[in-house]
Amino acid sequence: MSPLLHGTKSDAPHLVSLAPPAAMPGGEVELRGSGLLGVALPQVRVGTTAAVLSLSRSDRAVLQVPEGTTSGVVVLERDGVASNALELRVAVPMAEDLHPVANPAVDADGNVYATFSGARGQSVPVSIFSIAPDFEVRPFVRGILNATGLAFDADGTLYVSSRAEGTVYRISPAGAVTTYAEGMGIATGIAFDRDGNLFVGDRSGTIFKVGPSGGGAGGALTAGELGDREIFVYATLEPSMAAYHLAFNDEGTLFVTGPTTSSNQAIYAIDRDGRTSVFYQGLGRAQGMAFDVDGNLYVAASLRGQRGIVRITPQREATLAVSGNNLVGLAFLDDGCAALATRDALYHVALDIEGRKLV
């Protein structure tokens, strides 16, 4: 067998770009270049692992990232000649046998928290797991029915919603559970603003604002009080078939997604006075979101038929940042990496992105 030549021929295949720059196992990545198609079908590798091409043309190829692949360089071989190499970041499993339905949450020590939410009304042995930076998985909270949204407050205390009970619970560092707010309908996504107010998405159509101890939140009181915390209707939207997902930007604008069957779904922006507008429209089944420090929004969704993590700039330009199926949310880590949540697992991927501090 003749040795493989690396770009020694004038007509060697040449890769110009690779998009998106990161992928989940099973995700699709598009290669652009020249001379990519020869007499025989080209072969492509990610590191040392052979990948399958779902499309092959002279200037374009689409590869599917094989299971078990790790980050490495992509090389295309055509007629015994190899192309130049381009780097691809590949997500690796960090915790399996979970059931997240929203973003994971990350504490100040880099521990990641994710739910086993279960089917509606299903009681499960462990409601919330913690995953250490070395990927060690530990049971953290038991006894919460359909644990859904997770968020930390400014003091580093974890909160979780129960979509079955319409309740938000506060979790101590030892995993003890106390009730924080009730009467939240089908409580799903939760997020804190920098004033300590908690926002709760009721997937039947309401965004609730829960004032911190002492009250002081604006709006018309509609859902009663728990202790001295007032609960208000902050905004109303169309009902969602699955959940509401919430995220704040630096200006204090609340961004909301609520998955529907539409492939032209909107991300809503709600200002500090509760006025709602459409920030971006054109996604399929948009779910969990996170911002980086530059104000770019990342959302688990489909964009023009491609599923993964979509990056939307403040100028509302959308591109695919991570390719992959079954994603429901994400959280940025302090080292430029991200934890990606699928329907049954968490994955870890290096993205070189600094996430926005959540509170």
Interval 4-36: pLDDT, tens: 444 445 689 999 999 999 999 999 999 999 999
| 281 shares its domain with 300 | yes
Query: Of all residues in the chain, what percent carry a pLDDT higher than 70?
Result: 93
Which residues constitute the domain of residue 65?
Answer: 12-90
Q: Is the pLDDT of residue 320 over 70?
A: yes
Query: Is residue 171 domain-shared with residue 232, that is, in the same domain?
Result: yes
- Structural domain includes residue 6: no
How distant, in Å, are the alpha carbons of 111, 241, 267, 273 from that of 260? 31, 6, 12, 26
Asked if 142 and 291 sit in the same domain, the reply is yes
- Tell me: do 47 and 181 sit in the same domain: no
Whether 181 is in a domain gets the answer: yes
* pLDDT single digits (tens) 194-250: 999 999 999 999 999 999 865 443 333 344 444 567 899 999 999 998 899 999 999
| Domain assignment present for 160 | yes
Number of domains in the chain: 2
Number of H helices, E strands in the chain: 0, 35
Residues 69 and 114 in one domain: no
**CA 329 → CA 60, 87, 154, 345, distances in Å?**
30, 24, 21, 11
Report, in angstroms and rounded to the nearest whole number, the Rg of the chain calculated over CA atoms: 22
Residue that finishes a domain, picked among 39, 60, 90: 90
Contacts of 1 (CB under 8 A, 6+ apart): none
Q: Is the distance from CB of 114 to CB of 160 less than 8 angstroms?
A: no
User: 67: domain CATH number?
Assistant: 2.60.40.10
Whether residues 113 and 197 share a domain: the answer is yes
Whether residue 4 lies inside any domain: the answer is no
Among 61, 90, 119, where does a domain finish?
90
16 and 65 together in one domain: yes
**What pairs with residue 161 in β-bridges?**
168
In the block, which residue shows the tokens 């779904």? 265
Which among 352, 356, 298 is positioned nearest to 324, based on CA atoms? 298
Q: Judge if 185 and 266 occupy the same domain.
A: yes
**Same-domain pairing of 141 and 84:** no
82 within some domain: yes
Whole-angstrom CA distances from 146 to 162, 164, 184, 204 are: 5, 6, 14, 16
User: Among residues 90, 107, 124, which one ends one of the domains?
Assistant: 90
Same domain, 247 and 270: yes
132 and 261 assigned to the same domain: yes
Q: What is the pTM of this model?
A: 0.92
Coil, strand or helix at 222: strand
The string of DSSP codes covering 286-345 is ---EEEBTTS-EEEEEEETTEEEEEEE-TT--EEEEEE-SSEEEEEE-TTSEEEEEESSE
CATH code assigned at 240: 2.120.10.30
